[in-house]
Amino acid sequence: MIKKLQFTITVRSILVGALTSTMLLSCAGHRSAHAVVENLAERILPAATSKQFAFEKLDNSVLDKFELSTKNGKVLVKGNTPVAMASGLNWYLKYHTNSSVSWSGNQIALPESLPQIEGSITKESAFEHAYYLNYCTFNYTMSFWDWERWEQEIDWMALNGINLPLAITGTEAVWYNVLKRLNYSETEILEFIPGPAFTSWWLMTNLEGWGGPVSKEYIDQQVALQKKILKRMREYGMKPVLPGFYGMVPNNLKEKYPDADIRDQGLWAGGFKRPAFLLPTDPLFLEIANIFYEEQKKLFGETEYFSGDPFHEGGSTDGIDLSAAGENLIGSVKHVYPNAKWVFQAWHANPRLELLSRIKAEDILILDLDADNNPQWSQKNAWGDKNWIWSTITNYGGNVGMFGRLDVINREIFKAREQHPQSLKGIGVMPEGIENNPVVYELLYEFRWRDAAVDMDTWLADYAHRRYGVANPNLNKAWQVLNNTVYGKKMGPPYQQGTNESIFCARPSLNITGVSSWATTELHYNPSELLEAWQLFIQESDGLANRTNFQYDVVDLTRQVLANYAQVVYAEMVRHYKNGDLGGFNRASEKFTTLLKDQDRLLNSRKEFMLGFWLEAAKSRATNPAEKDLFEYNARTQITTWSFQDSNLHDYAHREWGGMLSDFYLPRWELFIAKLTAELNGKHSQDIDYYAFEEGWNKEHKLFPTTEHGNSVAIANELYRKYVDEIKASYD
């Protein structure tokens, strides 16, 4: 018979813990509320200009709030939290100086004397929470970040009002310490922990050990990094979400505790052995949970929000009392953190309603990951009006492609709030990869400070002005075109997982419909319409060639146009092959490979689109020569085969990057073209073992540039002149 676990916490321990936590937070807030935002201003603004801002604390209110005014010749930014102050600073920069802080570079050119504010401007948040980050982001983008890059990102979070970020860095050390206490040897522990490019799926109970083993020195390095991350987040008043213990354990725990109710969870993605599941109703669960949270608290201090999803993308629930499991899940964390709340991901069948049934509503926060595409809140009546957050994934696998649903975001957030005003607690972005499509993030997080939808044409004109530093009617028109094409995807069905994939990155075949297993190369817009935006960007490029954000956008737009056109050329290749036309096939295949090489040259002109930076970052995080090779293998494998076998995960995290195109995708296409050429010449050809080629590439150590090559705007102009008429004719 399953027994409900009993959690006994003395009133005294709760009060002492709560009082200590409150005192620590109060002291930290008093010590850093002004300084942290002043330091932010110093980091992003010219030295003389940052001194023209003053920051003051507003009285506490239920929701974040900022107030802007001019006082004694300075811009006075008041806020009830540091995040609110930072948001107020960002609002002023955006709407009073046409400035922009972005992943592709900051566009800040402030006058000597800052514009004054007549009276005051007050903005109160429409939502309690602004959530950020997916488990996957920590690998598809952040696997090899150092503190310098994290500091920039946390500043960006604060400026955009984010106050509830996921924070999973360093969890390897928690598990290391837990398993040590469970009498595991160091070798056994390191066999459980995956490599640096795959920790997300380990923590989501999809795999164990893949990409490892890492060294204890690396684990310690991650702890030091996480302490810096959490310190800065908490200084801003953010509430980081840490991984919780929900029953994931090593498969070999059953050997050490044969009497425990530990269930096999089968395979994930067709080949990975999932970690085992220790039932939360088993007495060992509370024992391990206590160890886990004690070790986590020693390393990373007090926190309030925890996350973790039993049965993520599979796993067996047979014979499990889900109601009791959910109750014990939250009960175990409250045994160490009395004020804990659990953050669930609404994804596939999760969270199971039975799992939630005995958890108090105030102890739950549900992330509706895909609310702009396939919303669960409307299908499940907001899970019985449990607290939840409207979110978008927007990017899968870190894939490169211009994509978004701007009008959907503009409309659906307020529709959701009208229907569930009490339970909708926030908005968020749950991207699998970032550093692309910044317009999506900027629009969504602005709705923390808005009461209604915006006029998109006006908003995009303002966005273009601050992004490029000039007001330009042609670029305003170009952004209207972008909104109606690449950023104009509607809500499903048919549902679409992320960007329209670039055919350059696909494993070659005669019938390509997608690069990865769950996405598509099919365009949701007429590609000929995108040419108008391309023409307008090129037309205005002479005066903006030195603006970093313009450089990035003109490269990205040119890349998108060429990737779209590659589908036309590919179709020509296939048609000529099927018609037995060797001459036509040769001409089409030459055109295709030339186009791919031109794309590679374009992308090597901007660091955001270059393979070399990813690989060098991977090697830089290693603590010894062997680990350096391992980390490079992690970085290469993730964006190619993903798995240890030829699985449905191949090319899931494909990257249309300079270096990848010429050194990985082009040779694959050349294998395919050579095979078809041989067949058209009447010769026998063997099937291509793509996995053998890909795994061979993963084990190489070739160096790729980390210096941008060529003038990005000049190359975009050159490619426009070379291809525009040809592309127009193909669409006509």
Give CA separation, 263 vs 215, 260, 280, 281, in Å.
29, 9, 11, 12
SS3 22: helix
> How confident is the model over 174-198, as a mean pLDDT?
98
pLDDT digits (tens, 9 = 90+) for 8-67: 333 333 333 333 333 334 444 444 678 999 999 999 999 889 999 999 999 878 899 999
Q: Angle, to 10 degrees, between the axis of helix 548-578 and the axis of helix 456-468?
A: 110
Residue 385 is predicted with a pLDDT of 85
Euclidean distance between CA atoms 593 and 508, whole angstroms: 13
Q: Tell whether omega for the bond before 213 is within 30 degrees of 0, i.e. cis.
A: yes
**Res. 566: pLDDT tops 90:** yes
Euclidean distance between CA atoms 481 and 478, whole angstroms: 5
Share of the chain above pLDDT 90, in %: 92
> How confident is the model over 487-513, as a mean pLDDT?
95
Q: Report yes or no: 221 and 147 within 8 Å, Cβ to Cβ.
A: no
Euclidean distance between CA atoms 577 and 581, whole angstroms: 6
Residue 34 is predicted with a pLDDT of 85
CB atoms within 10 A of CB 13: 12
> How confident is the model over 418-446, as a mean pLDDT?
97
**Res. 446: pLDDT tops 50:** yes
Nearest to 38 by CA among 57, 64, 19: 57
Share of the chain above pLDDT 70, in %: 96
Residue 569 is predicted with a pLDDT of 98
Q: Is 10 exposed, middle or buried (0-12, 13-18, 19+ CB in 10 A)?
A: exposed
The radius of gyration of the chain's CA atoms, rounded to the nearest angstrom, is 26
Non-local CB neighbours of 223 within 8 Å, separated by 6+ positions: 170, 173, 299
Place of tokens 């920051």: 55
Euclidean distance between CA atoms 61 and 350, whole angstroms: 33
Euclidean distance between CA atoms 513 and 508, whole angstroms: 11
Euclidean distance between CA atoms 505 and 609, whole angstroms: 14
Residue 32 is predicted with a pLDDT of 64
pLDDT digits (tens, 9 = 90+) for 243-279: 999 999 999 999 999 999 999 999 999 899 999 999 9
End-to-end CA distance of the chain: 72
**Res. 630: pLDDT tops 80:** yes
Q: State the pLDDT confidence band at 2, using cuts at 50, 70 and 90.
A: very low
Place of tokens 């330009």: 472
What is this structure's pTM?
Answer: 0.95
H or E segment and range at residue 101: none
Q: Report yes or no: 367 and 345 within 8 Å, Cβ to Cβ.
A: yes
Q: Report yes or no: 603 and 666 within 8 Å, Cβ to Cβ.
A: no
Give CA separation, 216 vs 94, 138, 173, 627, in Å.
45, 20, 9, 11
Q: State the pLDDT confidence band at 115, using cuts at 50, 70 and 90.
A: very high
Provide the pairing of β-strand 241-243 with 305-307: parallel
Residue 62 is predicted with a pLDDT of 87
Provide the pairing of β-strand 129-132 with 164-165: parallel
Euclidean distance between CA atoms 714 and 531, whole angstroms: 18
Q: What is the mean pLDDT of the chain?
A: 94
pLDDT digits (tens, 9 = 90+) for 270-325: 899 999 999 999 999 999 999 999 999 999 999 999 999 999 999 999 999 999 99
pLDDT digits (tens, 9 = 90+) for 520-548: 999 999 999 999 999 999 999 999 999 99
Q: Is 527 exposed, middle or buried (0-12, 13-18, 19+ CB in 10 A)?
A: buried
- What are the backbone dihedrals phi and psi of residue 491, each rounded to the nearest 5 degrees, phi first? -70, 150
Provide the pairing of β-strand 272-273 with 276-278: unpaired
Euclidean distance between CA atoms 629 and 638, whole angstroms: 14
Residue 492 is predicted with a pLDDT of 82
**Res. 358: pLDDT tops 70:** yes
Give CA separation, 46 vs 87, 154, 342, 638, in Å.
18, 19, 41, 39
Residue 30 is predicted with a pLDDT of 45
